[in-house]
Chain A
Amino acid sequence: MSAPNEGRGRRFARWLYPRRRAQLWFLLAAPLLWIVAVYLGSLLILLLNAFWAKDALTNTVTPFDWTLKAVIDIVTKPVYAIVAGRTLLIAVLVTITDAVLAFPIAYYMARVASPRRRGALVVAVLLPLWAAYLVKTFAWRTILQGNGFLSWLLSPFGIPGPGLDELPNAWLVLSYLWLPYMILPIYAGLERIPESLLEASADLGAKAGTTFRRVILPLAFPAVVAGSIFTFSLSLGDYIVPDLVADAKFIGNLIYDNSALGNLPVAAAYSLVPIVIMLVYLVVARRLGAFESL
């Protein structure tokens, strides 16, 4: 840096020093611009497409040529409701499955395991996250496919393997993929419960089961809800797993198909559905105190 530049910097600093509001604006300008213009702006343009007309032959969307055709299609054609229902069902099942699997693991990690073993378990839970999502999905393909591992395992019992076109495959693979996202918040939530509360509960005569039901579970529940935000939203938005292991259409697949095939208005209109579902979910999660547990 040369001296004149430094002088200018000094002068600017002197000007800025007493102006707290200007300091704040300078600090936040870049991230605000990012959020409002780049992030929300592009989202807004995407959603506006839902209300613009499109030509069937040429695929051209005419901006500001307002129509409700795409939205009406989404509401009246049964396929969109069926697919949304299927996606919701799997997302709920995955969330319940992960919660049931994660709770004992997290409980063991937080309250039973020795510090050494706890460290090893945290690593074991985190390790799968280091492998790429696609690698894990393709690993499941080789397990589930016609002449794959599962069908080899089941063949002595005369049961055929599932193949790659069964809906339950999506439930299985998504539950596997998102399990760490459920374990970690529950683990953190359970660890935060002070030992003194459990002792107090015991002093007041509660048995282990009662303490679990009346003390641990209510205190850990917001953490479960926090974990469920991850498992639910990740499942709701996934379109690769259902395609690769289940040959099933989820909300994301219909959005992807429609945009890949050039029907942007329908894709945009349909993306309103998961947005609304997630908003409702987040409001409920907030009521249940999940945001304090994140």
Chain B
Amino acid sequence: MRRLSIPAALVTIGLVMAACGTSGPSGAPTTLGDNEDELNLIIWDGYAEKGAVDPAYDWVTGFEDETGCKVNATPMTDSANGVSLLQGGQYDGGSFSGDATIRLMASGDVVAVNVDLIPNYKDVFEGLKLKDFNSKDGVPYGVPHGRGPNLLMWNTDVVTTAPTSWDPIFEGGSAYQGKISVYDSSIYIADAALHLMQKDPDLGITNPYQLNDEQFAAAIDLLEKQRDNGAVYWGLLTDQVQSFESGDTVIGTTWPYQVNLLKGEDPPAPVEAVLPDEGSTGWSDTWMIYKDAAHPNCMYRWMNHILSPEANAEATVWFGEAAVTQKACDAAEAISAGHCEQQHASDEEYWNTIWYWTTPQADCADNDDATTCKDQDAWIEAWSTLRGA
């Protein structure tokens, strides 16, 4: 932490107010100024690597040397945590998933970006531009980082037949009692709802994030059975990696990043992962800028940097998700051949089968006025009841 004397703080406030003077009506600046000396980001673990885990993957040091913006990255445990962190006011921005971006845009904690100031934005796949999770009223509120599905991972020593469905962790899970690994976040309720969409069509679930009382109760019921079957919850992805290493868990829901980490060990951990037949929840992450960012110029340069072919290729290969520009796909060939094909980077048909994380809303996030769905608070409360009781 840097200490500010009172005069320095007053000068800073003055500078911030002066900076506001140059911004356009929508809140987005029209020109960029000189870089500040640092940049405070909220990230998903693995989104701002400095080569600490693998020296070959470092897309932060070069940015720091080039811009003079020292990057301080804080990982969030889940989207609700990310929202809360940003609202604390200490950060310039972050890489948020849809369940966070919609809330942040609604609360006005993030502001529209002027993509003219982000030269690499023009290369972004059209399928990722001006979506409801990264724009409002036709104005972009950020730049994409990458997207991917949540996967089913298992220990190949214990689970010898490769599963093709989520069944082993929801139904008949007794086979792996006490060894099922589950993401510790309210958004995981959607995974249960997605499973019920197929298993119990009578419930009439059409969107796993917008559930009425009956559908919600059914999902919670399924999750309670899973818990009582001895689910082990991971909040930090390192917890999951550790529990797969130690054998405390052998099957569960994961992100491609943990699969990469486990397979990258020496010797590689015996794990495999698949996108189950029922489809999956997933994410499409967006870098957004905080309304009162103390380092807006560094933030803009970071948003441009993360869209650059090299940085986006490295970052998405590292995490195991789809790159967001064709140039990044080309650059990725040098690091991991066939990366974009495996990840369906530009295959919009494929992405239509993935349910991106989004915010549960009382009005069901649709056009009619009915408020029949469980809202975000209800989801969080149900999750803490599930975990706490």
Contact = CB atoms under 8 A, between A and B. Distances in A.
A247 B233 contact: yes
A78 B389 contact: yes
B384 A258 contact: yes
Contacts of A62: none
Interface in A41-87: 54-60, 73, 77-80, 82-83
Contacts of A170: none
A266 B376 CA distance: 14
A189 to B, nearest CB: 38
A259 interface: yes
A79 B220 CA distance: 14
A78 B359 CA distance: 26
A263 B380 contact: yes
B267 to A, nearest CB: 15
Interface string A124-146: 00000000000000000000011
Contact of B246 (A147, A260, A262): A147
Contacts of B81: 260-262
Given A57-B106, A163-B248, A73 B389 contact: no
A241 to B, nearest CB: 15
Nearest to A58: B107
A83 B389 contact: yes
Given A164-B243, A260-B77, A59 B389 contact: no
A199 interface: no
A249 B246 contact: no
Interface string B339-365: 000000000000000000001011000
Nearest to A163: B248
Interface residues of B, number: 38
Contacts of A262: 80-81, 83-84, 87
Contact of B106 (A58, A73, A77, A266): A58
B247 A82 contact: no
Interface size band for A: 20 to 34
B381 A77 contact: yes
B223 to A, nearest CB: 14
A177 interface: no
Contact of B103 (A58, A73, A148, A243): A58
A218 to B, nearest CB: 41
A56 B384 contact: no
Interface in A246-275: 247, 249, 253-254, 257-263, 266
A125 B178 CA distance: 37
A191 interface: no
A238 interface: no
B248 A146 contact: yes
Contacts of A145: 242-243, 246, 248
B387 interface: yes
Given A60-B107, A146-B248, A79 B232 contact: no
Contacts of B235: 243
A83 B381 CA distance: 14
Contact of B247 (A83, A146, A254): A146
A79 B388 contact: yes
A57 B375 contact: yes
B45 to A, nearest CB: 16
A147 B247 contact: yes
B80 A254 contact: no
Contacts of A57: 102-103, 106-107, 359, 361-362, 375-376
Contacts of A165: 178, 230, 232, 248
Contacts of B5: none
B224 interface: no
Interface in A161-184: 163-165
B370 to A, nearest CB: 16
B22 to A, nearest CB: 27
Interface string B360-378: 0110000000000001111
A147 B250 CA distance: 13
B246 A79 contact: no
B388 A56 contact: no
A137 B106 CA distance: 41
A260 B389 contact: no
Contacts of A243: 235
Given A73-B381, A147-B246, A148-B246, A261 B389 contact: no
B385 interface: yes
Nearest to B76: A260
Contacts of A261: 78, 80-81, 84, 186, 380
B248 A56 contact: no
Interface string B61-102: 000000000000000011011011001000000000000001
B87 A59 contact: yes
B13 to A, nearest CB: 22
Which one of A57, A58, A60, A261 has the greatest number of beta carbons of chain B within 10 Å? A261
B146 to A, nearest CB: 24
27 contacts: A55-B107, A56-B376, A56-B378, A57-B102, A57-B361, A58-B108, A59-B83, A59-B87, A59-B107, A78-B385, A79-B389, A82-B389, A145-B248, A147-B247, A148-B246, A163-B178, A165-B230, A165-B232, A249-B388, A253-B388, A254-B388, A259-B84, A260-B84, A261-B78, A261-B80, A261-B84, A263-B381
Interface of A: 54-60, 73, 77-80, 82-83, 145-148, 163-165, 243, 247, 249, 253-254, 257-263, 266
Top 8 nearest A-B pairs (CB, nearest first) are A58-B107, A262-B84, A146-B248, A249-B388, A261-B80, A56-B377, A146-B246, A79-B385
Given A260-B77, A261-B80, A261-B81, 15 more contacts: A56-B378, A57-B103, A57-B107, A59-B107, A77-B385, A79-B384, A82-B389, A83-B388, A148-B246, A163-B248, A247-B232, A254-B388, A262-B81, A263-B377, A263-B380
